[in-house]
Each structure stands twice: as C-alpha cells, then as structure tokens.
Structure 1
Amino acid sequence: MSLADVLAPLQQPLFTPLGTPVSWTEVLGFGTGALCVWLVARQHIANWPVGIANNVLFVLLFTQAGLYADAGLQVVFITLAVYGWWTWTHGGGPGSGVLPVRRTTRAEWTWLLAAGVVGTAGLTLLLDRATDSDVPFWDALTTALSLMATYGQCRKRLESWWLWIAADVVYVPLYAYKELYLTALLYIGFMTLCVLGLRHWSRDPAVRRPLPVPTGAARHETTVEATA
C-alpha cells in the first residue's frame, strides 16, 4: 500500500455544503487549528504538538488547492514549532524555565520588516515563474506575514498577535477564492481568537515590566552618575 492510498480517505468529501465538497482534511485542519490558537492564547505548551498535527493536515490541503507557498510554509512551521516548543520550556534564562511574554524590540522590528518585504517579493517571483499559482503575490504575502508572526510566537512577543491578525485578514478572502470555505471560516475564528490572545497576553505581568538593562549599560550609567 502506497502513501497515496493511506492519505486518500482524508481527501474524500465528508459533506457538500452549497455544492462545494469539504474533505476530512479540511475538517480535521479546522479542529486542530482552532484548538491550537486557543492553547496559544492560554500560553499552554500543548499548542505546539497540536499545531504540528495541524501543519501536516494543511500540507495536504494546500497542495491539493494549488497554494504551494502555503503548503511549503507548513513544513517550515513544523520546524519552528519544534524550536518554539523548546524555547517556551527552556528559554526563560537563568533561574527561570518558562519564557515570559515580552514586547518586540525596535531591532527585531527592523529585521522582521526587511525580511518580510524581501521574502514577499522573492516568493512572488518564484511562484509566478515556477508554479501554476494564480495568486502568487497574495500567497507570498500571507507566507511572509505568517513566518514573522510565528517567530514572535516562538519568542512570546506580544505583537505577534497583530501579525497573525494581519495575515488572517488576507487569508479569509484568499481561501474563499480557492473555494476552501470551511478554512476561510476557520480563519475568521482565528481572528477572534487572536484578539482574545492579544488581550490575554497584554495582561501578563511580564509585559508591563521594563526590559533588564544590559550589564555594560548599567556600568556606564553608574560611572556617569559618579563623575557628576
């Protein structure tokens, strides 16, 4: 039995609302995706394994729909999920095993935005020339925004929720255009969960604490005060 034979049942229509077939893959992707975002909003470590299951399902779904950048993005997500899983449990630094919620620094914004612009442009060109995608720019843009947001999620950056919301605003009409109506509905739900996640993370006491001053900077300030 080949891999295609094993996966074939997942691609069979489960029901057909309004004349559009909805597969098992899309239904399971809906469920695992919603659960994953809810767990992230609650800062629950189980979001990572649930997210990996969601990524595997979406690889199948997006490949079948011709959204090749989104399909490839899921593979990257799996790698980042392993990194995020480790970071959330071991990235809190000395004396703290849990990573706290923080705000995105100016330096992080600079390289994230630069990487997003370059990535969107490069991926648009690649999809336009190397695939039969009829939405190369929008596929590339959502890919770039999602990667930026995932980095923030891995590092527990508060503003990662804003990036997810921006990506979802584009995803909803994109999936509707591709007749992935259940997935489009899922992403409307994602936006709601993202707003709730943003509010939940904003209440985290760690967000309101000032970032620690680097040792070198602290010594410099002490020297200046002593001189004065």
Structure 2
Amino acid sequence: MDLFIGLLDARLSIGGTTILWREIIGNAFGLACAYGGMRRVVWAWPVGIVGNALLFTVFLGGVFHTPQDLDLYGQAGRQVMFIAVSLYGWWRWARTRAAGRREAAGVDPSRSVVAAVRPRWATGRQRAAMAAFWVAGTVACAWAFTALGSWGPWADAWIFTGSMLATWGMARGLTEFWLVWIGVDIVGVPLLLAGGYYPSAVLYLVYAGFVIWGFVTWLRAGRAEPAAPAPAPARVGS
C-alpha cells in the first residue's frame, strides 16, 4: 500500500513547477485511447478508463492535496462520466466487431481484422439535438459547478458537456465527435494553463492536431467501407 501511495504522489519539477506523474501518465493513457479510437479498436475503451481513474484524483486537487490545490469539479466529474460512457462504448464496439467478424468469415474466412465500428454522419435531427444538449448542459452544469465552488465553472461546464457528447458520439460511430473535441480543446487549453495543469494543457494542444488526423481518417473510412452489420439483439434468457 505504501508503494502504491508513493507512486500516486510521485512528482516531477520542471522550471520550478511541480507536476504529478499521475497527471502525465493519465494523459498518456488518454492519448492512447484517442489513437485506439481513431483505429477503431476495442482496446481503446479500457485503456481510456485507466487514464480517467488517474485524472479523477488530479482534478480534485483540494481533496487529494495536489500541487495545484484546485478543485475542478467539471474536469473531475467528466472522468467519472468518461468511465460510464466508456463501459457502454466498450460493450457496443465489442458486439459490433463480433458481428462483423461473423459476417466477414462467411465472405472471406481469411479475414481476421474487423474494425469495431463504421464511421457515419449524424442526421440533421441528431446534430440539432447535440447542439441543444451542449448549450443546455453547459448552463445547467455551470450553475451546479458554481454552487459546488468549482474554479472556472463556465469553462468547466462547457468542457464537461462537450466531452460527454464527444464520448457518446465515438461510441455511436458518429464522425462529428472529432469536431466536438475541437470545441472542447479551444476552451480547455486556456483553462488548464491558467490553473497550472500543464501536462493536461499540453495534451489538449497535441490532441487538437490528433483530432484533425482522426477526423480525416474516419471521413475516409466512412466513404470507403460498406455498412457495418448491426449487433444482434439480445435474446431473453440467453
């Protein structure tokens, strides 16, 4: 237990600024998850969950006595949200990949690699619903985060709600989720720099370029690949 606590509290000093190693490691797992998402492989989801668990303790700085000593309830809360939505995405992608493998085996038995999801564009109604959710969610969460005493509640709320939309969009295979991440990054980088969360801010900057790459990759895949089979419905009693 002492070794585990020691690893959690391990710190790095750069230019007089103290940074927790678990913030760096948690963000590295997040970047690996994004890469797996771009490649549309199921392991992206569990890798992301590990990073979310680490970052949850980072953004509750006042509770866990981090160097920043700031409580960003939106940033911490979105790690919990990520874990919940990631479990759904993990389940959905695993089922879709299994269905794709069964279909591929019937056509070409030698084909063993099947993407877990086929990218597609959201419908106009879905886009309108997503935009309305982002606005309404930001207002509601900003009110809640202000009441809790969060630092930077409005930016925190925008990031939290956008992250929820992006993760849900990734699970559903909607190409727009990459664009939602750009909107999150635009607000996230200034917030994290101002709060002293430098590894996370750097990740957001790196992620912005990565998001463009991922968007182009999904766009091409959506045009080139045939429609993926829908997961078979679960039978009662199975």
Question: Is TM > 0.5 for Structure 1 vs Structure 2?
Answer: yes
Q: Answer yes or no: is 1:83 the counterpart of 2:88.
A: yes
**SS of aligned partner of 1:35:** helix
- 1:99-178 equivalence runs, <5 A: 99-129=117-147, 131-178=148-195
Instruction: Show structure 1 runs of 5+ residues with no match.
Output: 212-228
- Of 24, 28, 32, 2:29 maps to 32
Residue pair 1:90, 1:99 contacting (<8 A) in 2 also:
no
Report if aligned partners of 1:145, 1:163 keep a CA contact under 8 Å in 2: yes
Q: Which residue of 1 aligns with 2:10?
A: 12
CA RMSD in angstroms comes to: 2.4
Deviation at 1:192, TM superposition (A): 1.3
Per the TM alignment, residue 210 of structure 1 is displaced from its structure 2 partner at its CA by 9.7
Structure 2 equivalent of residue 225 of structure 1? none
Structure 1 residue identity aligned to 2:52:
N
Q: CA-to-partner distance for each residue in 1:60-91, whole Å, 9 max, x for gaps?
A: 11111311111111111111111111111224
Cα distance in 1, alignment partners of residues 46 and 171 from structure 2 = 13
Structure showing greater radius of gyration is 1
Q: Hey, what's the Cα distance between the residues in 1 that align with 2:206 and 2:149? A: 29
Identity %: 31
Whether the 8 Å contact between 1:63 and 1:71 is mirrored in structure 2 is yes
**Contact 2:170 2:177 survives alignment (8 Å):** yes
Give unpaired runs (5+ residues) of structure 2: 62-69, 104-113, 228-238
Report the Cα distance in structure 1 between the residues aligned to 2:126 and 2:149, rounded to whole angstroms. 34
The answer (yes or no) to whether the contact 1:41–1:193 under 8 Å persists in 2 is no
Q: Which residue of 1 aligns with 2:212?
A: 195
> Structure 1 residue 203: deviation in Å?
1.0
**Whole-angstrom CA distance in 2 between matches of 1:108 and 1:157:** 10
Task: Count residues in correspondence.
Answer: 207
| CA distance, structure 2, for counterparts of residue 210 and residue 47 of structure 1 | 23
Normalised to the residue count of structure 2, the TM-score between the two structures is 0.79
In structure 2, C-alpha distance between the alignment counterparts of 1:19 and 1:165, rounded to whole Å: 31
- Inter-partner Cα distance in structure 1 for 2:33 and 2:184: 16
- What TM-score do the two structures reach when normalised by structure 1? 0.82
